[in-house]
């Protein structure tokens, strides 16, 4: 009855206003879907702000979204075909013109979800964005993700194929070095106590199936829940448990690799159209495989990726993930860009709390720190989790920076053998992603993607692989000169 009345109202409104007034409203520019284990993002970009209301519905789990003042068009309809079958969170999406002025989207979900729905004002190349971030109600914590990455009893999170014309990343399977008599992974878990939680995920959701108006599809096969990927028997022990006292090396050395940008944030773009996010990910994957097959002295090396797929990870979350798994080092991988296409060569940066070592370093840090705005951080949710920021800001980074400079120097020496160096010394500036107070952290600008020659090289598997080799040797040399405390 209500709907009929709405429809009647809509048509009488049409008679009153006439066609020209009705034609006004937002036009859809693009729809994008970024699937990942952490969360799946759906973005609707439009030339005017969109107003949406949403509710979640259980059994089967769905998210219904009504967008006001919108006509269903071909651009929006494309959303249906953009959901991938291997999306960890979304099973499918249905789109319909619910009333003459309201478009309704219904996302059929693969698991219980706590959605964040928010809007972004124009920034960088984007106009207005309406964003749905679909976080699993039981988020995988970084330790589970590490276990999955190490291939110990967890499914590999999907890694999307690179876009056409992009180099192929290395195989995603990780070959864990054969079991040492002691179990470094168990050691790692033993020294791990912190629990990761995505900032600001809403804790309540309205659950009512009334008035959706679009029937759910037949129930799919049993839920393929992937939230608990850890193998039985190697779950993190209770808080405060002591490390193993068995013989052999007491620990493994864990390197957090942070491929810059991702998802809505492409990073820098080269003259041939190569996106930074797409070349730094394969370099990170090569480096991960190298590390996982290596040792530093008598310690096994292991890698943890802060992102494994093409999606947006806020800068703070990257730091938080690395701390949550107890990483020994943090290496953020980027590809520089500058207005002068002649600029070339790699460089390495460490944190500076005050000032920068050069104007160029300051400029670069400002540019990299914009990643959250371009990628599209949910400001409201982030501000509901202020403890994340405060915890980091309250701790001194002085010792961290001393070690970071040593690490940066060790990496530069090896990068010098692979290609040109832009700067022979480790530079410093206020990079947000280098703020872990307890982890030596560097940001590696592998080369200038704005330089046509270096852009071409960055796209080749050979160069990506050589860079990863150089970084591996640098890491090993750093640990050799700065052995971990027993």
Q: Which is nearer to Zn ion, 184 or 260 (CB)?
A: 260
Beta pairing, strands 62-68 & 102-109: antiparallel
Considering only residues 107 to 166 of the shown chain, the ones binding Zn ion according to CB under 5 A are none
Q: Which is nearer to Zn ion, 84 or 363 (CB)?
A: 363
Q: How many residues bind Zn ion (CB under 5 A)?
A: 3
Instruction: Tell me the closest approach of the beta carbon of residue 128 to Zn ion, in angstroms.
Output: 25
- Biggest distance spanned by C-alpha atoms of the chain: 84
Instruction: Tell me the closest approach of the beta carbon of residue 412 to Zn ion, in angstroms.
Output: 18
Q: Which is nearer to Zn ion, 67 or 443 (CB)?
A: 443
Q: Which is nearer to Zn ion, 280 or 301 (CB)?
A: 280
**What gap in Å lies between CA 316 and CA 378, rounded to an integer?**
12
8 Å CB contact between 325 and 256: yes
Instruction: Tell me the closest approach of the beta carbon of residue 298 to Zn ion, in angstroms.
Output: 35
8 Å CB contact between 303 and 287: yes
Q: x/- binding map, residues 277-316, to Zn ion, per CB under 5 A?
A: ----------------------------------------
**What gap in Å lies between CA 447 and CA 428, rounded to an integer?**
17
Instruction: Tell me the closest approach of the beta carbon of residue 446 to Zn ion, in angstroms.
Output: 10
**What gap in Å lies between CA 174 and CA 156, rounded to an integer?**
9
Q: Which is nearer to Zn ion, 184 or 262 (CB)?
A: 262
Stretch that binds Zn ion, among 160-168, 234-242, 267-275, 286-294 (CB under 5 A): 267-275
**What gap in Å lies between CA 352 and CA 53, rounded to an integer?**
43
Instruction: Tell me the closest approach of the beta carbon of residue 134 to Zn ion, in angstroms.
Output: 26
Q: x/- binding map, residues 14-43, to Zn ion, per CB under 5 A?
A: ------------------------------
Q: Which is nearer to Zn ion, 267 or 326 (CB)?
A: 267
476 lies in the binding site for Zn ion (CB under 5 A) = no
8 Å CB contact between 124 and 261: no
334 lies in the binding site for Zn ion (CB under 5 A) = yes
3-state SS, the chain, equals: CHHHHHHHHHHHHHHHHCHHHHHCCCCEEEEEEECCCCCEEEEEEECCCCEEEEEEECCCCEEEEEEECCCCCHHHHCHHHHCCCCCCCEEEEEEEEEECCEEEEEEEECCCEEEEEEEECCECCECEEEEEEEEECCCCCHHHHHHHHCCCCCCCCCCCCCCCCCCCCCCCCCCCCCCCCCCHHHHHHHCCCCCCCCCCCCCCCCECCCCCCCCCCCCCCCCCCCCCCCCCCCCCCCCCCCCCCCCCCCCCEEEEEEECCECCECCCECCCCCEHHHHHHHHHHHHHHHHHCCEECCEEEEEEECCCCCCCCCHHHHHHHHHHCCCCEEEEEEEECCCCCCCCCEEEEEECCCCCCCHHHHHHHHHHHCHHHHHCCCHHHHHCCHHHHHHHHCCCCHHHHHHHHHHHHHHHHHHHHHCCECCCCCEEECCHHHCCCCCCEEEEEEEECCCHHHHHHHCCHHHHHHHHHHHHHHHHHHHHHCCCCC
Q: Which is nearer to Zn ion, 154 or 266 (CB)?
A: 266
Stretch that binds Zn ion, among 42-50, 259-267, 386-394, 419-427 (CB under 5 A): 259-267
Stretch that binds Zn ion, among 116-124, 263-271, 426-434, 471-479 (CB under 5 A): 263-271
Q: Which is nearer to Zn ion, 138 or 370 (CB)?
A: 370
Stretch that binds Zn ion, among 4-12, 125-133, 196-204, 329-337 (CB under 5 A): 329-337
267 lies in the binding site for Zn ion (CB under 5 A) = yes
Q: How far, rounded to the nearest angstrom, does the alpha carbon of residue 360 sit from its chain's CA centroid?
A: 26
Q: Which is nearer to Zn ion, 66 or 368 (CB)?
A: 368
Instruction: Tell me the closest approach of the beta carbon of residue 334 to Zn ion, in angstroms.
Output: 3
Stretch that binds Zn ion, among 123-131, 166-174, 192-200, 265-273 (CB under 5 A): 265-273
Stretch that binds Zn ion, among 66-74, 266-274, 345-353, 429-437 (CB under 5 A): 266-274
Q: Which is nearer to Zn ion, 38 or 445 (CB)?
A: 445
Instruction: Tell me the closest approach of the beta carbon of residue 466 to Zn ion, in angstroms.
Output: 20
Integer-rounded Cα Rg, in Å, for the chain is 24
Instruction: Tell me the closest approach of the beta carbon of residue 464 to Zn ion, in angstroms.
Output: 16
Instruction: Tell me the closest approach of the beta carbon of residue 435 to Zn ion, in angstroms.
Output: 16
Instruction: Tell me the closest approach of the beta carbon of residue 80 to Zn ion, in angstroms.
Output: 33
Q: Which is nearer to Zn ion, 46 or 332 (CB)?
A: 332
Q: Which is nearer to Zn ion, 34 or 431 (CB)?
A: 431
**What gap in Å lies between CA 115 and CA 105, rounded to an integer?**
14
260 lies in the binding site for Zn ion (CB under 5 A) = yes
Stretch that binds Zn ion, among 109-117, 256-264, 446-454, 466-474 (CB under 5 A): 256-264
422 lies in the binding site for Zn ion (CB under 5 A) = no
Instruction: Tell me the closest approach of the beta carbon of residue 415 to Zn ion, in angstroms.
Output: 16
Q: Which is nearer to Zn ion, 42 or 458 (CB)?
A: 458
Residue with the CB atom nearest Zn ion in the bound state: 334
Binding site for Zn ion (CB under 5 A): 260, 267, 334
């Amino acid at each position: 009855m209500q709907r009929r009345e709405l429809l009647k109202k809509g048509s009488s409104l049409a008679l009153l206003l006439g066609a020209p007034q009705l034609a006004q409203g937002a036009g859809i520019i693009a729809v994008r879907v970024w699937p990942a284990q952490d969360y799946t993002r759906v973005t609707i970009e439009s030339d005017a702000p969109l107003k949406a209301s949403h509710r979640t519905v259980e059994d089967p789990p769905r998210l219904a979204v009504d967008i006001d003042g919108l006509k269903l068009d071909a651009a929006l309809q494309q959303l249906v075909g953009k959901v991938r079958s291997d999306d960890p969170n979304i099973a499918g999406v249905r789109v319909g013109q619910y009333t003459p002025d309201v478009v309704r989207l219904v996302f059929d979900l693969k698991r219980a979800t706590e959605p964040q729905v928010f809007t972004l004002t124009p920034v960088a190349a984007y106009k207005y964005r309406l964003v749905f971030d679909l976080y699993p109600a039981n988020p995988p914590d970084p330790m589970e993700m590490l276990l999955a990455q190490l291939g110990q009893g967890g499914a590999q999170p999907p890694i999307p194929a690179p876009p056409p014309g992009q180099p192929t990343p290395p195989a995603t399977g990780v070959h864990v070095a054969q079991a040492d008599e002691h179990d470094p992974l168990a050691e790692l878990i033993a020294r791990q106590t912190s629990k990761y939680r995505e900032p600001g995920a809403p804790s309540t959701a309205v659950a009512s199936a009334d008035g959706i108006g679009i029937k759910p599809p037949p129930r799919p096969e049993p839920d393929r829940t992937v939230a608990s990927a850890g193998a039985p028997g190697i779950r993190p022990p209770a808080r405060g448990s002591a490390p193993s006292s068995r013989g052999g090396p007491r620990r493994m050395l864990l390197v957090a690799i942070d491929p810059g940008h991702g998802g809505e944030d492409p990073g820098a773009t080269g003259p041939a159209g190569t996106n930074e996010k797409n070349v730094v990910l394969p370099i990170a994957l090569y480096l991960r495989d190298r590390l996982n097959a290596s040792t530093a002295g008598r310690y096994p090396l292991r890698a943890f990726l802060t992102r494994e797929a093409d999606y947006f990870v806020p800068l703070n979350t990257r730091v938080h993930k690395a701390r949550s798994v107890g990483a020994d080092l943090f290496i953020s991988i980027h590809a520089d860009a500058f207005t002068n296409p002649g600029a070339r060569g790699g460089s390495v940066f460490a944190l500076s709390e005050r000032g920068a070592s050069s104007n160029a370093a300051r400029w670069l840090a400002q540019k990299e720190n914009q990643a959250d705005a371009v990628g599209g951080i949910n400001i409201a949710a982030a501000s509901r989790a202020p403890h994340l920021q405060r915890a980091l800001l309250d701790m001194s980074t002085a010792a961290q920076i001393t070690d970071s400079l040593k690490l940066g120097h060790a990496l530069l020496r090896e990068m010098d053998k692979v290609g040109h160096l832009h700067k022979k010394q480790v530079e410093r500036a206020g990079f947000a992603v280098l703020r872990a107070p307890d982890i030596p952290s560097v940001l590696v600008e592998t080369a200038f993607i704005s330089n046509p020659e270096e852009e071409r090289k960055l796209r080749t598997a050979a160069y990506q692989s050589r860079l990863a080799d150089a970084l591996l040797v640098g890491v090993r040399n750093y640990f050799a000169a700065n052995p971990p405390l027993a």
